[in-house]
Amino acid sequence: MNIPVVKNIARHTGLILLGLLVAFFVVEIFVRVFFPQERRLFIADPEGKIRTMHVPNVDTEKKTDEYSARIKTNAQGFVGNDFMTNKLAGTFRIATLGDSFTEAFQVDYDKSYSALLEKKLNEKNGRGTPYQVYNFGMSSTGTEMQLLTYKNYIRQYKPDLLILQYYAGNDVTDDLLLHNDPLGGDMYQGIKFGKLRAFLSNKLHSPRFIIRRIERIRAVKNALARYNISARGAGFYDKPDKYPSLYDIYKKSNEPPFSGAFQTNCKTIKDFQAVTQNDGVSLLFLIIPHRLELFPEDWQEILTEYPKMRREKWDIQKPLVKVRQCLNETGIKYIDMHQNFKNLLASGVPRMYYKQDDHFDINGHNFVADYLVKKVLINK
């Protein structure tokens, strides 16, 4: 190919790229002016190490029909006041890690079980060893993403104890959504292109605006999720005209998409055990049940809402049984709040979950903090 032709191709290619760049910025300005995006509580991790973080330094209020809660995030993108890497001599540092139950945006940030745990431990301890509790909870994360959070963020704070909260309601489901193959395979890592993804999502408005609009078409939404262009939601495996697939975790039969999911989940739990042991960090597992596993009337409401579910056979305790089996096999210490809550309810205490929202109210956080205080003081 002669030089003039090469130059002509290069010039046209440059003009096309310049035109696309100009068009992109025109769209970006248009979206910012006419469709400004609402302020978010969550952003893509700027470091590309985990999928999602909180927007740093937020202090706001969240209101629903059931509650009003003050939300506060720190400079590190986690919950509460700023974390310090350095630890004063004699301080016993605890990291709490889990999903939205640990994040606790349904109560004031200083009323979460993590915050209450720190307060109660220091009150009981008087002038003894000071306790610090750092809250690394992040909603919509399962055990696999939490393991990445530990490796990439928690380690640097050198905790003496890691409390790993496990939600029997959807931790297996959340892990499943990270896999390209519903029957197993490696976890997809949007984190491979994390910094690019974070730049497009956090700095620009138009990519999110466009994706949110085209996601309204279910087939397009599923295609984007399948190729990891957008996050997979809880309804990714839903079938048309059926009940939500997330309830399949309670099916007595072991069929896709959950066949093999519990084994994969147990493997991640064992990985947690190995990593924390290697770091010299004590590991305490905290099992949180779904409200459906405690209140039969709530389960009946689900069956009424989705009549086709009555055709299936269900074992509402299945996730709890599976995680207990895994923990007993590995010898990991754990607190089973399912049994503790059942005992409390039998004694006449008020309900500890919201009725519409699946999360704890302030009673639930208080109960969990009380059980944790006993466990920490006994095993410290």
Q: Are residues 105 and 252 in the same domain?
A: yes
Residue 113, in any domain of the structure: yes
Residue 206, in any domain of the structure: no
Choice between 95 and 196, residue whose per-residue pLDDT is larger: 95
Q: Are residues 355 and 243 in the same domain?
A: yes
Looking at residue 228, its pLDDT comes to 61
Residue 68, in any domain of the structure: no
Choice between 356 and 230, residue whose per-residue pLDDT is larger: 356
Q: Are residues 131 and 259 in the same domain?
A: yes
Q: Are residues 14 and 98 in the same domain?
A: no
Q: Are residues 155 and 241 in the same domain?
A: yes
Whether residue 145 is predicted with pLDDT greater than 80 in this model: the reply is yes
Q: Are residues 315 and 252 in the same domain?
A: yes
| Total structural domains within the chain | 2
CATH assignment at residue 299: 3.40.50.1110
- Compute the Cα dihedral for 123, 127, 129, 135 and give only its sign: positive
pLDDT band at residue 293 under the 50/70/90 scheme: very high
Separation between Cα atoms, residue 81 and residue 177, nearest integer Å:
31
Q: Are residues 93 and 24 in the same domain?
A: no
Q: Are residues 23 and 142 in the same domain?
A: no
Q: Are residues 125 and 22 in the same domain?
A: no
Q: Which domain holds residue 296?
A: 78-188+235-379
Per-residue pLDDT tens over the stretch 6-55: 667 777 787 788 787 788 778 778 777 777 767 788 988 888 888 889 99
Residue 244, in any domain of the structure: yes
- 155-159: Cβ within 8 A, 24+ apart: 155/279, 156/85, 157/83, 157/84, 157/85, 157/87, 157/93, 157/95, 158/87, 158/93, 159/93, 159/94, 159/95, 159/134, 159/281
Separation between Cα atoms, residue 203 and residue 70, nearest integer Å:
26
What torsion do the CA atoms of 44, 50, 54, 55 make, to the nearest 10 degrees? Answer: -40
pTM to 2 decimal places: 0.89
Whether residue 255 is predicted with pLDDT greater than 80 in this model: the reply is no
Whether residue 93 is predicted with pLDDT greater than 80 in this model: the reply is yes
